[in-house]
C-alpha cells in the first residue's frame, strides 16, 4: 500500500525540480542572463556545460627586468604548460595556478581587443586581472640590481606543428 506523500517530500522534490529547470533555462539563455546570475548566483549553483565549444587561444607569458644601470635583461618565458606526466590523470595540482594564469591572459587579451581605443583599455592596469598577472610575474626570481619588471603576453599564431608567437600585450614597468 502506498504511503501518503509528506509536505517535506513535496518540498524536496520541488527544490530538485526547480534546480533542474533553472539549469536547463541557464543552458539556453546563459548569455542573456549573465549579468543577473553574476550578481545573484554567488555560489555558482547554476552552470551551462558548454565544454570545449570554443577553443581558447594559446599564450605564453614572459617578463624582463630593467636594472638600476638602465640596462634590460632578455625576455624570460614562464611556462604555463607543465610537462605531461602519467600521474596527472589522478594528481595534477600545478594546473590550479597555470590554468588560472592562462584564463587571465586570455581574458586580458580578448577584453582589450573588444575595448580597443576606449578609456577602459587605457585603464587596463587598474583591473584585477592585470594586477593578478603582475603579482604573479613579480613573484618570479629576482635579478640583482632590479629596478623594474615588465610582462608580455604572446599569442600562438603559427600553424599546427610549427608554433610561432606574436606579441598580444605588453605591460608597463613596475617596481618590485
- Residues in touch with another protein (CB under 8 A): 5-6, 8-9, 12-13, 15-17, 19-20, 23-24, 27, 42-45, 47-56, 58-59, 80-84, 86, 88-93, 95-97, 100, 102-104, 128, 131-132, 135-136, 139, 156, 160-161, 163
| Residue 42 or 74 having the CB closest to another protein | 42
State the minimum distance, in angstroms, from the CB of residue 70 to another protein.
Answer: 28
Say how far residue 53 (Cα) sits from the centre of its chain.
17
DSSP-based three-state secondary structure for 89: helix
| Residue 27 or 72 having the CB closest to another protein | 27
List beta partners, residue 24.
none
Give exposure, 106-131, as e/b (b: 16+ Cβ within 10 Å).
bbbbeebeeeeeeeeeeebeeeeebe
State the minimum distance, in angstroms, from the CB of residue 95 to another protein.
Answer: 7
Closest CA to 78 of 29, 130, 141: 141
DSSP-based three-state secondary structure for 60: strand
State the minimum distance, in angstroms, from the CB of residue 170 to another protein.
Answer: 20
State the minimum distance, in angstroms, from the CB of residue 130 to another protein.
Answer: 12
| Residue 12 or 121 having the CB closest to another protein | 12
d(CA 12, CA 19): 11
| Residue 93 or 144 having the CB closest to another protein | 93
| Residue 55 or 117 having the CB closest to another protein | 55
Asked if 137 contacts 61 with a C-beta cutoff of 8 angstroms, the reply is yes
State the minimum distance, in angstroms, from the CB of residue 82 to another protein.
Answer: 8
- Which residues does 119 contact at the CB level (< 8 Å), separation at least 6? none
Amino acid at each position: 500500500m502506498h504511503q501518503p506523500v509528506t509536505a517535506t517530500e513535496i518540498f524536496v522534490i520541488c527544490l530538485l525540480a526547480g534546480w533542474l529547470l533553472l539549469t536547463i533555462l541557464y543552458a539556453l539563455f546563459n548569455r542573456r542572463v549573465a549579468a543577473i546570475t553574476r550578481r545573484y548566483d554567488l555560489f555558482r549553483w547554476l552552470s551551462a556545460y558548454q565544454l570545449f565549444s570554443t577553443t581558447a587561444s594559446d599564450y605564453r607569458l614572459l617578463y624582463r627586468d630593467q636594472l638600476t644601470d638602465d640596462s634590460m635583461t632578455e625576455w624570460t618565458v614562464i611556462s604555463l604548460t607543465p610537462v605531461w606526466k602519467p600521474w596527472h590523470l589522478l594528481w595534477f595540482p600545478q594546473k590550479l595556478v597555470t590554468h588560472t594564469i592562462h584564463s587571465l591572459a586570455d581574458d586580458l587579451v580578448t577584453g582589450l581587443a573588444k575595448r580597443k581605443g576606449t578609456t577602459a583599455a587605457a585603464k587596463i592596469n587598474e583591473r584585477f586581472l592585470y594586477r593578478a598577472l603582475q603579482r604573479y610575474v613579480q613573484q618570479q626570481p629576482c635579478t640583482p640590481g632590479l629596478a623594474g619588471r615588465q610582462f608580455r603576453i604572446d599569442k600562438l599564431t603559427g600553424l599546427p606543428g610549427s608554433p610561432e608567437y606574436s606579441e598580444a600585450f605588453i605591460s608597463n614597468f613596475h617596481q618590485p
